[in-house]
Amino acid sequence: MTTSITAPALVRPEDPAYAAAVAPFVTTTAPRPDLVVEARSPADVVAAVGWAREEGRAVTVQATGHQLLADLAGSVLISTRHLDDVRVDPLTCTAVVGGGARWQQVIAAAVPHGLAPVCGSSSHVGVVGFCLGGGHGPLSRAFGAGADQVRRVPIVTADGVERDVDATHEPDLFDALRGGKTGFGVVTEMEIALHPVARLYGGGIFFPGEASPQLLHAWREWVATLPDDATSSVALLRLPPDPSLPPPLQGAFVTHLRFTFLGTAAEGAALLAPMRAVATPIADMVDEMPFAAIDAVHADPTDPMPIWDDSATLGALPAEAVDALLAVAGPGVDTSLVMAELRHLGGAIARRPGRGHDAVAGRDAAFNLYALAPMVPPVAAIAPAAARGAVDAVRPWATGGLPNFQGPAAGGRLGALWDDATAAFLAGVREQYDPAGMFRTVGLLG
């Protein structure tokens, strides 16, 4: 490539910098793109897409590698990880975020102004990938999905044109980008709304895994009583014997209840009281907390890891569904699952904002089940079956899935996550902006 892209932006498999340039968070397979373009400016992206179009090459995009959707082999990978500038405007309560920025960078820039983004459970996740896929986190029941916060999207499309897309400029592409996940181009920036949230009442409570039957049955009824500014999830965790964990959690089977509430600590404690009464905790870490500490709620892993994940949204969580999940992930079950997590959805997620058009999948779902098994010896071979088994257990209540919670198990079925009308709309927008399928060659969309 002899374009205006500046060295060392081009990285080939034989280059010493290749491993770091492709290194994903999810390390299940080693990504092997033919070429990496480490974009340091939108102009680099324009040049890379233009070259790939002339050469007839497939293009993939990676920011942090938190979502292993497909093999990158044979593609030109445009890495946006260096496009990580974040600018906050406290007057308009918005942030302009680079195409490879992580939530932790947005939080660091927003918190001094008493503002917070609608991020997910882990601030290590990339902003753009999260918002393109919908995006559900601790503030979503109060303020909507991540995609609902998006105001403007500068993007380089397959024709090599940099477009500034919003509700009035190329509105179909704008609607597709808010939830349509992939296949439209390389997002170089995203303008998102922030919210005046400086603190909350929240955290996690670790209960013994043996108490999971009582806890899950109580939880499914309790969440129905919560206001929209309260969010909860519950996870059955089989923790590793990791010496960095507190001793009672090392190698333990636990039930991890997560809770966030935007009202006062006293109101939050009153809301949480019925769950605190179900069992004796190993550790109760729910308290008044600054928004900057939001990662403590889920305590997601931050080191790269090989995993196999599977998931489904649920329309309801009756007692039979809880029993079915416990039968494959509860006490006494021999499983390689490290996590089976139920997230309560609804609230503002269920309400389509603004002009009433977007591509957020699963708005009407009440819950999301996310199952995760490690791809490490000796259990790697059974990881896919373990994760699929958890999803199959609740299949009678499944309504679909959230694009962000799909891994390689989704295969070419990603397109099935949207209702027929939205899927047809997304296909039409992809056909308009990427008729040759430059961004579609990753085998995701069936």
Ligand X SMILES: Cc1cc2nc3c(=O)[nH]c(=O)nc-3n(C[C@H](O)[C@H](O)[C@H](O)COP(=O)(O)OP(=O)(O)OC[C@H]3O[C@@H](n4cnc5c(N)ncnc54)[C@H](O)[C@@H]3O)c2cc1C
Binding-site ranges for ligand X (CB under 6 A): 25, 61-67, 69, 80, 99, 120-122, 125-126, 128-130, 132-133, 135-137, 182, 186-187, 300, 404
**What's the min distance (Å) between Cβ of 3 and ligand X?**
19
> How many CB atoms lie under 10 A from the CB of residue 91?
7
Nearer to ligand X, 130 or 425 (CB): 130
CB 31 within 8 A of CB 22: yes
* Helix (H), strand (E) at residue 187: strand 186-187
Nearer to ligand X, 389 or 408 (CB): 408
**What's the min distance (Å) between Cβ of 121 and ligand X?**
4
Structure tokens at 415: 């397109």
**What's the min distance (Å) between Cβ of 122 and ligand X?**
4
**What's the min distance (Å) between Cβ of 418 and ligand X?**
15
Nearer to ligand X, 232 or 404 (CB): 404
**What's the min distance (Å) between Cβ of 184 and ligand X?**
7
Please tell me whether the peptide bond between 227 and the residue prior to it is cis, using omega within 30 degrees of 0: no
Nearer to ligand X, 69 or 223 (CB): 69
Nearer to ligand X, 128 or 329 (CB): 128
**What's the min distance (Å) between Cβ of 323 and ligand X?**
26
Cβ neighbours of residue 78 closer than 8 Å, sequence gap 6 or more: 36, 37, 39, 45, 48, 49, 59, 60, 61, 62, 186
Cβ neighbours of residue 389 closer than 8 Å, sequence gap 6 or more: 328, 335, 371
CA-based nearest residue to 406, from 315, 312, 303, 329: 312
> How many CB atoms lie under 10 A from the CB of residue 260?
26
Tell me the residue number closest to ligand X, measured at CB.
Answer: 129
Nearer to ligand X, 36 or 278 (CB): 36
Strand positions, DSSP E, 239-347: 253-261, 283-284, 287-290, 307-314, 339-344
Cα separation, 279 vs 56, whole angstroms: 60
**What's the min distance (Å) between Cβ of 105 and ligand X?**
12
Cβ neighbours of residue 112 closer than 8 Å, sequence gap 6 or more: none
Nearer to ligand X, 181 or 220 (CB): 181
Tokens 């939530």 belong to which residue? 103
